[in-house]
C-alpha cells in the first residue's frame, strides 16, 4: 500500500512522511519545469533554423566540445545553410 511505502521510504531518509511527500512534489514540479524550459528552447531553436536556414554540423559541434573539455580554446563552429 502506498501509505506504508511512503512511511518506509521517509524513515529511510530520516524524514517524516509529510516532509518526504513535499520533497517528492517539489522534485516532480522542478522536473516538469525543467522539461518545459527545454522544450521551449528546442522550439525556439527549430524556429530559428526554419527562419534562417542555418545549422551547425554535429561533427563540428562535437569536435568543438571535445576540444573545450581537453582545455583547448577552439573557435566556435560556423553555421551553414541547410542543403
pLDDT tens digits along 14-67? 999 999 999 999 999 999 999 999 999 999 999 999 999 999 999 999 999 999
**Number of C-beta neighbours around residue 20 at 10 A:** 19
Residues with Cβ within 8 Å of residue 38, at least 6 apart in sequence:
none
pLDDT of 83 strictly over 80: no
Q: What is the rounded average pLDDT of the residues 2-25?
A: 98
With 0-12 / 13-18 / 19 or more C-beta atoms within 10 angstroms meaning exposed / middle / buried, residue 78 is exposed
pLDDT band at 82 (very low <50, low <70, confident <90, very high): confident
State yes or no: pLDDT of 3 exceeds 80: yes
The reported pTM is 0.69
Across the range 2-7, mean pLDDT stands at: 98
Q: 36: closest CA among 25, 44, 47?
A: 44
Amino acid at each position: 500500500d502506498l501509505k506504508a511505502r511512503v512511511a518506509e521510504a521517509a524513515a529511510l531518509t530520516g524524514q517524516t512522511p509529510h516532509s518526504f511527500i513535499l520533497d517528492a512534489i517539489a522534485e516532480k514540479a522542478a522536473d516538469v519545469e525543467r522539461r518545459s524550459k527545454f522544450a521551449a528552447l528546442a522550439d525556439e531553436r527549430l524556429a530559428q533554423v526554419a527562419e534562417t536556414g542555418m545549422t551547425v554540423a554535429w561533427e563540428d559541434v562535437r569536435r568543438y566540445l571535445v576540444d573545450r573539455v581537453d582545455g583547448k580554446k577552439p573557435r566556435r563552429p560556423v553555421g551553414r545553410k541547410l542543403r
